[in-house]
A and B are shown apart, each in its own frame.
Chain A
Amino acid sequence: MNSLPGSATSDPGTAGLGTVAEAGRPGRARPPRLALPRRVRRDPTVPPWIFLVPALAVYAVVVLYPSLAGVLYAFTDWSGVGAFSFVGLDNFRTLLDDDRALESVGNTLLLTLAVVVVQNGIGLLLALGVNAEIRSRSLLRAVFFAPAVVSPVMVAFLWKYVYNPDNGAGLNAVLGAVGLGGLRQDWLGDPSLALWSVAAMVVWQYAGYSMVIFLAGLQGVPAELHEAARIDGAGTWQRFRHVTWPLLAPALTVNLMLSTIGGLKLFDQVYAATNGGPGTASETLSTVLYKEAFVFGKFGYSTAVALVLALFVAAVSLVQLRCLRAREVTA
């Protein structure tokens, strides 16, 4: 792209002009390279470092320093005030004996898995639906996407009503009205259901988000490929399986990464809907670390839990990126 062979010389003026003139003559060989030292001197057109300084300073203060301090505190018994001492791996040993924390690890993984699978499954179906030539496509796209721009806390409050245990309210009332009264549940109050109810709420909010990313992928699938496959006698399923699906890989990568990281870090919805309850049934890593810090004042232990969460997120993103990049193809 950048074809300024002489841009490293001390006189950028002539170098630049020379290149423009050179480029105007097709077929002409590159002008002979000037005898430059192997390590090229500073290119005066590269922006100076000062451009980076303000951003780096803010990033260092808000993210880098606190995160490093967090890693450090994970190995201490800090209570938030006063002195603290290093306790080695004690916090992590405590974690392995802490039933609530262990359950929260399992819950976090289950919740994430459920959200990732269902949200992307529904998102893909919705994308295929609104990508077809139906009249309501742009309206439907807006409807399905709209919840994604609303605050998760507000969505959680809305769903608390949907999940109202009362027979005459919310989802239970609808089930009763359509003759499925037997399926009525105490959606958030039943320990075996609470986590899945939270997952369904998250899926409702973000399925449209997955949809628009898949939709962007679908719109990049060339129509000729479909036409060619149709002429070769491929049915709808075969065309999806062998034409659309491989070309959706980049969109799938983005979607899986986003929903996995989002699922692992999920806090607002759980906090507002169940606060980890009933009991510890919907406790996740992020609600546990919140309570350890701000309810029990165990800041050192809380940052140890945060470090575990950070490692999960980092590991999952690395693995996903590796595996998924491998199967990406281009049209």
Chain B
Amino acid sequence: MSTTASRRRGYGRYGLELVMAAAAVVFLFPVYALVTLAMKDPHRIAGSPLSPPLPPTFANFSNAWSSASLGPALVSSTVITVAALLLLITLGSTAAYCLARRARGLGHGLYILFLLGIVLPFQLGMIPLYKLVDSLGWLGTYHGMVLFYTGIQLPFTVFLYTGFIRALPPDYAQAALIDGCDHRQAFTRIVFPLLRPITGTVIILNAVLVWNDFFTPLLYLGGSGKETVPVGVFSFVGQYVSDYGLVFAGLVLAALPVLVVFLLLQRYVIKGFAGGLKG
């Protein structure tokens, strides 16, 4: 009886394995089309677009790399993302440290004020902010974008850090202060190293968001020669829209850096996305 039951459960497991594999195949169809078309010349795309690309051509990739100017776009995206992350980590963690230890009165009020920023759609302030950045002469610059992402993502970053710091015992920092550290030293030497797990989450969630953002860099960086990857891809696709092989080779190349980082850091990325939001 128990053996039949466990055998039945074994069959169930294989059945589930099959169902899930089938789901994955259906799910991956767009990706198959993407890679297949990227490896075909226009004649074969016109003839039989979805047959396996045998033998594959790689001409699309080199053409796409240069005509989408992906090199410069990757540099822009990297500069903006890294700078915004550094600022978010610095400003977010210090602000949260202050707010976490001031959970009442003004401290609480300011915390709520930060949380408001998570709910507010950025479209509400989109035009006044655009005008402001324009009047500063910061359109088409890296620092304009970095300032934008730092401000827009601070509420969420402060929220993540504050939740984490509240769960930490304050004793370490207090001991450091008693031993003669000033507040800045206590934070940089004692508190900040303790924040490593949540800093990882902050990096992952903000990096994905900043790297992939499209609308604001289109508005701020369009035509400046400093376009980020999504903006570069957007104008590239607009230009070569009928040449699917070329367009898809560009999409593959543009998505590859993110996907490689994701696959390397898979466990952390998934954990960051799954856990970071629960506060």
State A4–B171 Cα separation when bound (angstroms). 9
Which residues of chain A are within 8 angstroms of B278 by Cβ–Cβ distance? Answer: 216, 250, 254
Nearest neighbor of B91 in chain A, beta-carbon distance: A55
* Cross-chain contact B119 with A47 (CB below 8 angstroms): no
Which residues from chain A contact B199 at a C-beta distance below 8 Å? none
Instruction: Point out the residues of chain A lying under 8 angstroms from B150, CB to CB.
Output: 58, 62
Known: A134-B17, A149-B208. A272 touches B234 (CB 8 A): yes
Q: How far is the CA of A151 from the CA of B273 in the complex (A)?
A: 16
| Total chain B interface residues with beta-carbon distance under 8 A | 93
CB distance from A292 to the nearest CB of B (A): 10
* Chain A residue nearest to B270 in the complex (CB): A212
Contact partner of B124 (CB less than 8 A), chosen from A54, A136, A267, A303, is A303
Interface positions of A from 260 to 286, Cβ below 8 Å from B? 261, 264-265, 267-268, 271-272, 286
* Structural contact, A307 and B16, CB atoms closer than 8 A: no
- Rounded to whole Å, the gap between the CB of A56 and the closest CB of chain B is 7
Given A54-B91, A161-B244, A174-B29, are A310 and B124 also a contact pair (CB < 8 Å)? yes
Contact between chains at B98 and A254 (CB < 8 Å): no
Most buried by A among B16, B24, B174, B254: B174
Closest A residue to B255 by beta carbon equals: A150
**Interface pair B126/A209, CB less than 8 Å apart:** no
- 8 Å CB contacts to A: which residues of B1-41? 13, 16-17, 19-21, 23-24, 27-31, 33-34, 37
Chain A residues within 8 Å of B275, by CB: 216
Say yes or no: is A187 at the interface (Cβ < 8 Å to chain B).
Answer: no
Closest to A125 in B: B23
Of A65, A73, A142, A213, which is within 8 A of B277 by CB? A213
> Are B151 and A313 in contact, CB atoms less than 8 angstroms apart?
no
| A277-318 interface code vs B (CB 8 A; 1 in, 0 out) | 000000000100110011000010011001101100110010
Chain A residue contacts of B224, Cβ below 8 A: none
* B193: Cβ under 8 A from any A Cβ: no
Interface check B212, CB cutoff 8 A: yes
Also in contact, A7 and B151, with CB within 8 A (given A51-B97, A66-B132, A209-B273): no
A317 to B118, CA, bound (A): 11
Answer whether residue A159 sits at the interface, using C-beta atoms and an 8 A cutoff: yes
CA distance A231 to B187 in the complex (A): 52
Q: Judging by beta carbons under 8 Å apart, are A66 and B129 in contact?
A: yes
Is B266 among interface residues, defined by CB-CB distance under 8 A?
yes
**Which of A52, A294, A303 is B99 in contact with, Cβ under 8 Å?**
A52
Known: A132-B16, A152-B214. A169 touches B114 (CB 8 A): no
Question: Is B83 an interface residue, CB under 8 A from the partner?
Answer: no
Inter-subunit contact A265/B49 (CB<8 Å): no
Q: A92 contacts the other chain (Cβ, under 8 Å)?
A: no
B169 part of interface (Cβ distance < 8 Å): yes
A61 touches B183 (CB 8 A): no
Q: What A residues does B98 contact at CB under 8 A?
A: 47-49, 51-52
**Measured between alpha carbons, how far is A136 from B16 in the docked complex, in Å?**
10
Q: Contact check: which of A48, A71, A150 meets B259 at CB < 8 Å?
A: A150
Residues of A within 8 A of B128 (CB): 65-67, 69-70, 73
Q: Look across to chain B and name the residue whose beta carbon is closest to the beta carbon of A149.
A: B262
CB-defined A-B contacts under 8 Å, sample of 26: A52-B95, A56-B110, A59-B114, A61-B151, A63-B122, A65-B132, A66-B124, A70-B127, A70-B128, A129-B20, A134-B17, A142-B266, A144-B27, A148-B208, A151-B214, A151-B230, A157-B247, A158-B33, A158-B251, A168-B49, A174-B50, A209-B273, A264-B121, A302-B127, A313-B119, A314-B120
- Besides A62-B151, A142-B262, A271-B215, 19 new A-B residue pairs in contact (Cβ under 8 A), listed by A number: A4-B174, A45-B173, A45-B174, A47-B98, A51-B95, A51-B97, A58-B154, A62-B152, A65-B132, A68-B125, A69-B128, A70-B128, A130-B20, A145-B269, A145-B273, A153-B234, A254-B277, A264-B121, A310-B124
* Residues of chain B having any CB pair with chain A under 8 Å: 13, 16-17, 19-21, 23-24, 27-31, 33-34, 37, 49-50, 87, 90-92, 94-95, 97-99, 101-102, 110, 113-114, 117, 119-129, 131-132, 147-148, 150-152, 154-155, 158, 169-171, 173-175, 177-178, 183, 187, 208, 211-212, 214-215, 219, 229-230, 233-234, 237, 244, 247-248, 251, 254-255, 258-259, 262-263, 266, 269-270, 273-275, 277-278
